[in-house]
Structure 1
Amino acid sequence: MRNEAPNLPIGAVAAIATPEINAPPTRDATNRKNMVLLIQLRWIAVVGQIVTIAFVTFWFGIALPIMPMVGIICALVALNVGSHIWLRHRDDVGNRHLLIALMLDVVALTSELYLTGGASNPFTCLYLLQVTLGAVLLDARSSWSLVALTALSFIWLTIEYRPLALPHHHVSDPFSLHVTGMFVGFVLDAVLLVVFVTRINRNLRERDAKLADLRQHAVEQDHIIRMGLLASGAAHELGTPLASLSVILNDWRRMTAIAADPALADDFAEMEAAVQRCKSIVTDILVSAGQARGEGSAPTTLKVFLTTLVAEWSTARSARNLMFRNEFGSDPAIVSDVALKQAIVNVLDNAFEVSRDWVEFVTERDGDMLLLTISDRGPGFDPAILSQLGRPYQSSKGRPGGGLGLFLVVNVIRKLGGSVSAWNHRGRGATVRLSLPLSTLVIGEPSGD
């Protein structure tokens, strides 16, 4: 089974693949994820401050202003709890929200440093953590605002701070203690930077990948729309000459010389049938081009819809080796969708082209999903096609215009709320599965068996 040129009316797929004008824009969740990272970093800061206060107080015997520092820690905890609640009721997080969060962290760090020696505290290097995160997360103007705030905070700490009283019986060399603190602060700063910047970059890469997919999807949609307009225009232009041919052939068949010759009469009958077939194709394109799903559809049942489809397809292709099994169970009333019918026919054609001796078509139910599975015994899909299922011009034959079959099928099924999957068998052959929610087809509420 290979991805080949489609039998699906181009105009129909152009209309189906076109996104609705009023569809809501896709929200960028990257800033939301980054806000979650900042909240996690704040929890780490809370734990780190508690550990540092306990270590300095009980190990070095340094008298710290415990109550004010505990008050700052409680304020950070309250900020984090409030941030969690706030995020639950927000779908979008903007640059301004990230800037406010980072500024609050700078204020909290400045307050702790004010109580523990000011600018002489070796943990002033943690300002660089906030600045670096701001450079990665924020726009240029906000990043410079954060730089200005940290610089002013550092300058203020050189003027206003609460000095620490170091006990000489525990601290014989204050400079060595300061260097040790600088080393601990450097290691902590470096570790947090690597951990959180790496995770932020991962979020940004995911966002860029989504944007690339959206751009590719827009290009594909534009391509299909152009194809639909071209097909619709061609259908209008072909309508008049086909009608003229039909009238002329009908008049010629009434001529005595032609009616008296059986062989010539048979030829004219075949010509008339061919013209009628062309007129039917043109009519399908004109009816389908630009219409939304549901127009031109008719109520039927799932069993009748599939049985009729299989019978028409087998007759038109003279295919006697199609194995059709309806394992759905019940027979719900559905809307006969022209685009869905053409999508199924297109997959059947692709399977029949590479596996004329055996094609299997199975209908199943999985909860509220309709599964349409088509298998063959052909050479299977190329790995490149499977990895980019539904992309245009992914064909193994390399003929001009090829590779649109599964591309159009995927767009039709996605528009109907479903999905398309494909895989190769271990031995020989491949399978394509169309998964559709019953709610898009069934008349009324679908009920489980």
Structure 2
Amino acid sequence: MANSKYTWDTRPNLPERLPEARRPVGLSLTSLIMLRWIAVAGQMATVLVIHFAFGFDLAVFPCLIAIGALAASNLALMASKRRRLTELRAASLLAFDLLQLASLIGLTGGLQNPFALLLLAPVTVSATILSRRATLALTSLAVMAATFVTFFHLPLPWRGDEGLQLPLVYMLGIWTALTMSIVFMATYVWTASEESRRLSDALSESAAALARERELSALGALAAAAAHELGSPLATIAVVSKELMSEVDKDSPLYEDVELLKSQSDRCREILVGLSHQPDATGDPFETLPLSNLVELAVDEHVPDHVELDILIDESCEGPEPMVRRTPEFLHGLGNFASNAGQYAKKQVWIRIYWTPRDVWISVHDDGPGFSHSVLQMLGEPYMSTRAGQDGHMGLGVFIATTLLERIGGHSAFRNRRGAEALVHWDRDDLEAPAETLL
């Protein structure tokens, strides 16, 4: 541990806290069946009301056949034993719904029918729950269906012999607006849903990493407790075996057994002493540590042997050193930053610590090539890494670190400063352990 003068005036602005992640919406077969029954009821009511209540002349029987096809397919789904939808099955059902809706629109005026906008519905559902490939296929199908009913359709239902025939230019305008809306909605909704799914998966990885860290801490605490509880009986065994050795003659056949008993009890005591000093043991004496000691514990063994690690305390620190509660979030989050720095460093990694009565800063700095401009702009987002997909890297290390540190009040920022540097800032009141825990 060393002191070093370090300039903190050029620290960058910190990003806002990450928003709460919302889990992506899935669609079960039961939900899809319910939505399709709503569609059947809506289509049936619309056709009957327009024909009988408003007196518009339309091809009622072909329309009822199209609606009946949707109802029949829904009954077949209800009889299915598989209650979850695979992507292929969901895409097939949405394609069927799209074609059924297009046929109904073709029977009632084509794109002149105001309900032609409903062609957006299956594509939007696909963009929400299906892959890019499936959504692209359904989008193409919707555009082709819209193109077909533009030129091949029955007349728009109207009273008497008046009729309504829109100009071709206007029809092409409607087609352009509808197809652009289909493409835009599919792209926009799929992108938003995919970001939500990726963020949800990344947060699940963060939760899993935190759970693993807590399990290790709990295991260390259990080892320390076992060492403490077994210390007394083993000490008794050692005393008794020593007395037996002094009383049993060396030529006695029992002497070797007594000697073995004593050597094994001594070995057990050595093992328990080692367990009681494991770094993951979280007994009360080490639950709260000085910040510098906790930082040293967090980054220990995260930097490769060929890279020199220096932990430095800034000379301009103000006030007493913070006493910080040992948490899995702190250990795993700062450890991830140190590990990332160690993998890119040429020869050295510096951990710099600075505190005032109000703030605490920790800098993880390496002498490597630094962050590329494209990565720096989005660093901290899930699945963002120059090594994502290589050798098992998922691009989640920095995201997990920032997420875990944020849980204990830390804000992370990144910059290039003769190498890559990760900065973590806390309000001291959020990081420092309450006074009563230090008693």
**TM-score band (shorter)?**
0.3 to 0.5
Question: Which structure has greater helix proportion?
Answer: 1
TM-score, structure 1 as length reference = 0.41
TM-score, structure 2 as length reference = 0.42
More relative contact order, 1 or 2 (CA 8 Å, 6+ apart): 1
